[in-house]
Amino acid sequence: MVRDTSVVLSGLKLDNPVIPASGTFGFGNEFKDFYDINILGSFSFKGTTKEPRFGNPTPRIAECERGMINAVGLQNPGIDHVIEHELPHLKSYFHKPVIANISGFSIEEYAYCCEKIDKEEQVGIIEVNVSCPNVRHGGMSFGTSPEAAAEVTRAVKAVTTKPVYIKLSPNVTDIVAIAKACEEAGADGLCLINTLLGMRIDTMRRKPVIANTMGGFSGPAIFPLAVRMVYQVAKACSIPVMGCGGVASASNVIEMMMAGATAVQVGAANLVDPYASKKIVEELPVEMERLGIERLQDIIGIVK
């Protein structure tokens, strides 16, 4: 029996739900030399801001048991370079709609970048990262307040035609309240979770391992937390969810979908093994057969 791995995300049909997460796959260029990345459902490209960013000082990475901490600081070439150089090059080796991850430090910057990227033919979905610090409000992340997250959502929806997914931060007291605020403001979907805030200390040097002191904690250790948040948000909202956080196997993908995710992003695993997403795509039909699943669509949110 042929197992149906396809899913539909805001009208966009994907061959499978496996999507490398932003910040772990660049623009796909490095990974295309390892395997044909067209086997993926899609991928979310590097978080893009209005101006080019060098990012945070080094060291930016700290290894942890069952995970890693990063404080790259949104290093990217800026929206104009992405549109003029990265997307035309990407089109030559990836032949499916891609997910554009957009970051900003003000409402105007989010709207500006999303309006520009919305015009690009190869972009199928716009993923808005609201974990950035709001420079006008003391550096508090847009994603930690329902009101601020809703304000970003409304501003972006006013200038775009493509589906807009808001990527939510787990560093909050009530992620459901923020998810519902985004849905009410017009979001087409949600992506969760982004990284947790973590820290490591070099006990010999008596200093933080990362130059930025703290960074985003990701990897298998956060998977149960991500599943819990996906479950809560999928139950509370009627828009689709992309699940993300510690996914490292086909079994993880199916668990995340049973919790309510329509598609599943693979993050830190790509940095550990460049073939991680490929292996998950290949393992999915085998895992479906083991569990007696004919169509992945049928298991979305099956856990009550």
Active site residues: 132
For 146-149, the CB contacts below 8 A with 24+ separation are 146/177, 146/178, 146/180, 146/181, 147/181, 149/178, 149/181, 149/182, 149/185
The H or E element spanning position 117 is: helix 107-118
Tokens 């079994």, residue located: 251
Say what angle helices 223-236 and 250-259 make with each other, to 10 degrees.
30
Of the candidates 287, 211, 217, 222, the residue with the CA atom closest to the CA atom of residue 249:
287
Q: How far apart are CA 222 and CA 229, in angstroms?
A: 11
Q: Strand, helix or coil at 297?
A: helix
DSSP state of 203: T
Contacts (Cβ under 8 Å, ≥6 apart) of 272:
none
Q: How far apart are CA 127 and CA 206, in angstroms?
A: 38
Of the candidates 126, 38, 27, the residue with the CA atom closest to the CA atom of residue 86:
27
CB 103 within 8 A of CB 74: yes
Q: How far apart are CA 19 and CA 283, in angstroms?
A: 15
CB 287 within 8 A of CB 16: no
Q: How far apart are CA 160 and CA 170, in angstroms?
A: 26
